[in-house]
């Protein structure tokens, strides 16, 4: 049975909108949509969009979501792959500057003996060179004031006992300069005596028309005293541009009397950045080079020979080479590794039965940070008899010189620190106080 409902409009409604709606009660519960439902449908048909994520999803929503998903996967892949790629080809090398903090396997007990402690010698005296003459020790240092044209180029200190050192205040062992070099930044001088009695000084000078790169310079004493003054040559002794120049020269005389100079090819100065300019890949070669000389000590013979280069334990560089010939015929090459401004800086050594190598590295540095409380020891020079050594280490904002004794164990080619004479060590306090300014 159907019920007829008549909707009678009010007086102000036009007769044309009068509707008669039949409400049928049909089995199954279907009902006639209300006027609100009809209005909503009309609005949707006229362009009022439903929300994007309202279900059910149409093909449009599914397509957009697929594109977004693919984009997200690609972004995740880039985040994972790109660091690996750039680390492999352009990234930073393994940082080994903190290796000194690792426990030392089979640590020699000599490193725990207080009597083996190095003795403070000179304030603000980096990269010391060393020679003994007529019972007096002479040490030569890097210029005391960086980038200062008024600085002394080569300071000198002397000692009669290797512990109490006297700085020659205001004295410059090389007061004049060669035509090739700037007035600043003279580093790591070292001296040897030649057959005519004069002395030859080797040093690192900053070259003109070569940016801030250094070359190895050479100067001759104007007399027969190791204190100088020294007169420099107008041309550098060595300046390999392919290695970024050269620094840290050290002279050596072999058993047959032949003179050599060993120095660092300054490869990290042309590196790709990072720690000391060379911790960012690809890491640049930083070779230790050996150059034969004529008896005058200033004329080269043939080409230089590479005897060492950096490995994975050295950080960005090796530098400050020094060669010693032991009594048993073994050559020892001392050198420093890591950046001098980091706590990883150290004194290492290697041995060989041939001057030209190959050199076998020792497992443990001879000196490193934390040994007897030292910070960043490096730049060592050893006496020709192999019993004593000078080096620098951090002392506040400066690098100061220490004196020490060493013991070469020929049975296994290892070197350890040893004790200076007791009567010398007792005077170490006076040495510290007498060298407060530089």
pTM over 0.85: no
pLDDT in tens, 9-21: 444 444 444 444 4
Count of H helices and E strands in the chain? 4, 24
> How, if at all, do strands 318-325 and 331-337 pair?
antiparallel
Residue 81: band (very low, low, confident or very high) from pLDDT cuts 50, 70, 90 = low
Contact 350, 296 (CB under 8 A): no
Query: What is the average per-residue pLDDT within 68-74?
Result: 84
Rounded alpha-carbon distances, angstroms, from residue 348 to 110, 117, 236, 300, 407: 16, 17, 28, 27, 14
Residue 360: band (very low, low, confident or very high) from pLDDT cuts 50, 70, 90 = very high
Tell me: pLDDT of 429 over 60.
Answer: no
CB atoms within 10 A of CB 347: 29
Rounded alpha-carbon distances, angstroms, from residue 302 to 194, 254, 291, 292: 20, 17, 8, 7
Hey, is 50 helix, strand or coil?
coil
Q: What is the dihedral of CA 337, 340, 346, 352, to 10 degrees?
A: 30
Q: What is the pLDDT of residue 21?
A: 43
pLDDT in tens, 186-245: 999 999 999 999 999 999 999 999 999 999 999 999 999 999 999 999 999 999 999 999
pLDDT in tens, 310-321: 999 999 999 999
Here the contacts of 114-117 (C-beta below 8 Å, separation 24 or greater) are: 115/419, 115/425, 116/372, 116/405, 116/416, 116/417, 116/418, 116/419, 117/372
Instruction: Please give the structure tokens belonging to residue 354.
Output: 């041939």
Residue 138: band (very low, low, confident or very high) from pLDDT cuts 50, 70, 90 = very high
Instruction: Please give the structure tokens belonging to residue 35.
Output: 């006027």
Instruction: Please give the structure tokens belonging to residue 423.
Output: 């009567």
Tell me: pLDDT of 356 over 90.
Answer: yes
pLDDT in tens, 107-120: 999 999 999 999 99
- DSSP at 215: E
Q: What is the pLDDT of residue 231?
A: 98
Nearest Cα residue to 127 out of 329, 355, 377: 377
Q: Tell me which of 31 and 159 has the higher pLDDT.
A: 159
Nearest Cα residue to 87 out of 226, 280, 373: 280
| Mean pLDDT rounded to a whole number for the chain | 86
3-state helix, strand, coil in the chain (%, to 5): 20, 35, 50
- Torsion sign across C-alpha atoms 35, 40, 44, 46: positive
Beta carbons within 8 Å of 303's beta carbon, 6+ residues apart: none
Residue 371: band (very low, low, confident or very high) from pLDDT cuts 50, 70, 90 = very high
């Amino acid at each position: 049975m159907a019920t007829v409902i008549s909707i009678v409009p009010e007086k102000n409604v036009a007769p044309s909108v009068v509707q008669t709606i039949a409400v049928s009660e049909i089995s199954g519960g279907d009902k006639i949509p209300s006027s609100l439902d009809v209005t909503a449908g009309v609005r949707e048909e006229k362009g009022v969009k439903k929300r994007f994520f309202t279900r059910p999803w149409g093909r449009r929503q599914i397509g957009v979501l697929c594109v977004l998903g693919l984009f997200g996967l690609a972004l995740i892949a880039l985040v994972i792959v790109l660091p690996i790629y750039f680390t492999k080809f352009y990234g930073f090398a393994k940082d080994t500057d903190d290796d000194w903090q690792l426990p030392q396997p089979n640590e020699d007990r000599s490193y725990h003996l207080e009597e083996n402690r190095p003795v403070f010698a000179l304030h603000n005296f980096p990269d010391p060179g060393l020679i003994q003459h007529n019972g007096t020790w002479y040490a030569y240092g890097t210029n005391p004031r960086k980038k200062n044209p008024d600085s002394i180029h080569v300071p000198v200190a002397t000692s009669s006992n290797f512990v109490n050192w006297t700085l020659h205040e205001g004295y410059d062992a090389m007061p004049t300069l060669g035509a090739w070099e700037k007035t600043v930044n003279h580093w790591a001088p070292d001296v040897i005596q030649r057959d005519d009695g004069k002395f030859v000084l080797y040093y690192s000078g900053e070259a003109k028309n070569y940016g801030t790169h250094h070359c190895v310079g050479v100067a001759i004493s104007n007399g027969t005293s190791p204190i100088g003054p020294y007169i420099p040559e107008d041309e550098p002794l060595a300046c390999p541009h392919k290695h970024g120049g050269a620094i840290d020269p050290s002279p050596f005389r072999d058993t047959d009397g032949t003179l050599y100079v060993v120095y660092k090819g300054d490869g990290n100065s042309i590196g790709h950045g990072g720690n000391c300019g060379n911790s960012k890949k690809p890491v640049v070669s930083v070779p230790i080079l050996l150059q034969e000389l004529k008896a005058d000590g200033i004329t080269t013979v043939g080409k230089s020979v590479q005897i060492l280069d950096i490995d994975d334990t050295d950080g960005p560089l090796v530098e400050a080479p020094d060669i010693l010939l032991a009594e048993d015929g073994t050559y020892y090459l001392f050198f420093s590794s890591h950046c001098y401004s980091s706590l990883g800086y150290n004194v290492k050594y290697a041995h060989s039965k041939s001057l030209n190598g190959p050199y076998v590295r020792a497992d443990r540095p001879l000196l490193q940070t934390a040994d007897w409380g030292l910070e960043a020891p490096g730049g060592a020079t050893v006496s020709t008899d192999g019993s004593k050594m000078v080096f620098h280490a951090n002392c506040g904002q400066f690098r100061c010189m220490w004196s020490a004794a060493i013991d070469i164990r020929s049975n296994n080619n290892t070197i350890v620190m040893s004790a200076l004479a007791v009567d010398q060590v007792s005077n170490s306090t006076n040495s510290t106080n007498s060298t407060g300014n530089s």
